[in-house]
Amino acid sequence: MGTQLVMYEEEFTKINAVCDRLTKDANAKVVFLVDKNGQLISSAGQTQNIDTTSLASLTAGNVAAMGGLAKLIGENEFPHQFHEGAKDSLYMTIVGSRVVLVVIFDNRTSLGLVRLRIKKASDELTKIFESLVKKADGPGIGSPFAEISDDDIDNLFSE
Amino acid sequence: MSFINYSSREINCKIVYYGPGLCGKTTNLQYIYNKTAADTKGKLISLSTETDRTLFFDFLPLSLGEIRGFKTRFHLYTVPGQVFYDASRKLILKGVDGVVFVADSQVERMEANIESLENLRINLAEQGYDLNKLPYVIQYNKRDLPNALSVAELRQSLNPRSIPDFEAVAPTGVGVFDTLKAVAKLVLTELKKGG
Ligand SMILES: Nc1nc2c(ncn2[C@@H]2O[C@H](COP(=O)(O)OP(=O)(O)OP(=O)(O)O)[C@@H](O)[C@H]2O)c(=O)[nH]1
Ligand SMILES: [Mg+2]
């Protein structure tokens, strides 16, 4: 199984910038970046009225279920999914086999434009995640938890 | 597979409640949801059938507070216990950091418990995990029922390695938080080792 996902300041800033730009360039309402295990990595746009944690978990569940279906019919995965609603639509793309880019948009833009911008953002994100994986594999800074004591853990649970 | 964000100083861990159909996994999450303060929990999401059986998963995000300046978040999931949902169970196990096995104490569910535990071991192994090496606790649920086996009998069949185990009555909360704390502690201890 893969190692844990670790995010550093430098890459985090870059990732947030890519998501921000994608929101603007695609004229989208919201952009989310979610780890395949359901952890939210980044979000941009009008996120105020959205339960981002739930969104991340359901996105991961959906991608996992579709990935299972893909394997059943001999595909590796379905890298793109598009769901059209009455007002808002949703586009999901798997990036670098590890994370999912989710774009929510309405009729102020078009599917064509959204797809085009996603392609570019997705290439950029792939590179950032590659460098992140390299960094995490390197000597690194060690776990921030190496120093914690049993008391620290116990304190979390003192109600 | 936990997610450590050095930039936002957060750490996220995934805990999965596993066990046979109707053993009380969803009830555990419902109790936790009802008894935690609004600012420490997110929404409880249940993807279930019309008869309240889990179809895909339940999901509850919890924040436990800070350790050394890092916000610790736990994402609790349940699997669907019914045998034919095996494909879904495998998906939920992806990226798991800790497991709670919820056993149904009723004598007539003993076989289902053993089968489910075996299924857990197999599904974990498929993804390269070893149950013996994972943070893992057992909960003997439904202790209130007259047809419940003794804890000694349950231990003998389900807990040969003597990992931490707890008696529970999930609808009234007996043992629910003890179970959660125990597994969360094991997960954090594992992180400390740099796992
Ligand atoms: N008497 C008693 N009933 C319980 C206990 N725990 C759960 N139940 C009941 O058992 C039934 C099934 O509980 P759930 O929590 O939905 O079971 P589950 O494990 O999520 O089942 P699946 O979703 O099918 O895998 C419900 O009616 C619960 O109220 C318990 O400790 N004692
Ligand atoms: Mg359930």
What residue spans of chain B are helical by DSSP H? 25-35, 86-93, 110-126, 151-158, 176-192
For the CA of B48, the nearest atom of ligand 1 = 23
Lowest mean pLDDT among A114-123, A140-149, B111-120, B159-168: A140-149
- B194 or B39: whose pLDDT is higher? B39
Are B186 and B146 a contacting pair, CB within 8 Å? Answer: no
- Are A153 and B61 an interchain contact pair (Cβ–Cβ within 8 Å)? no
Q: What are phi and psi of A80, to 5 degrees?
A: -125, 140
Residue A1 has what pLDDT? 38
pLDDT tens per residue across span B72-113 = 999 999 999 999 899 999 999 999 999 999 999 999 999 999
Residue A76 has what pLDDT? 93
Please state the rounded mean pLDDT for residues A22-45.
Answer: 95
CA B79 to each of CA A46, A72, A155, B148, B158: distance values in angstroms, whole numbers, following the listed order = 32, 21, 30, 23, 19
Is pLDDT at B4 greater than 90 in this prediction?
A: no
For the CA of B78, the nearest atom of ligand 1 = 20
Is pLDDT at A142 greater than 70 in this prediction?
A: no
Tokens standing for residue B147: 């047809």
Strands of A40-45's sheet in order across: A40-45, A30-35, A99-105, A89-95, A80-84
Question: Measured between CB atoms, which of B72, B88, B94 is closest to A156?
Answer: B72
CB contact burial B87-107 (16+ within 10 A = b; e otherwise): ebbbbbbbbbbbbbbbbbbbe
Tokens standing for residue A9: 């300041």
Quote ipTM for the complex. 0.83
Is pLDDT at A119 greater than 50 in this prediction?
A: yes
pLDDT tens per residue across span B49-59 = 989 999 999 99
Residues of chain A above pLDDT 90, percent: 73
Residue A2 has what pLDDT? 47
Residue A6 has what pLDDT? 85
pLDDT band at B68 (very low <50, low <70, confident <90, very high): confident
Q: Provide the number of CB pairs (under 8 Å) joining chain A to chain B.
A: 128
Pocket of ligand 1 (CB under 6 A): B 19, 21-27, 53-54, 78, 80-82, 141-142, 144-145, 169-171
- Are A65 and B56 an interchain contact pair (Cβ–Cβ within 8 Å)? yes
pLDDT band at B69 (very low <50, low <70, confident <90, very high): confident
- SS3 of chain A: the string is CCCCEEECHHHHHHHHHHHHHHHHHCCCCEEEEEECCCCEEEEEECCCCCCHHHHHHHHHHHHHHHHHHHHHCCCCCCCEEEEECCCCEEEEEEECCCEEEEEEECCCCCHHHHHHHHHHHHHHHHHHHHHHHHHHHCCCCCCCCCCCCHHHHHHHCCC
Question: Measured between CB atoms, which of A4, A54, A150 is closest to B1?
Answer: A4
The total number of residues shown for chain A amounts to 159
The total number of residues shown for chain B amounts to 195
Please state the rounded mean pLDDT for residues A21-29.
Answer: 97
Using CA positions, which residue lies closest to atom 12 of ligand 1?
B22
- B8 or B23: whose pLDDT is higher? B23
Question: Measured between CB atoms, which of A13, A57, A65 is closest to B59?
Answer: A57
Are B60 and B33 a contacting pair, CB within 8 Å? Answer: yes
- A142 or B112: whose pLDDT is higher? B112
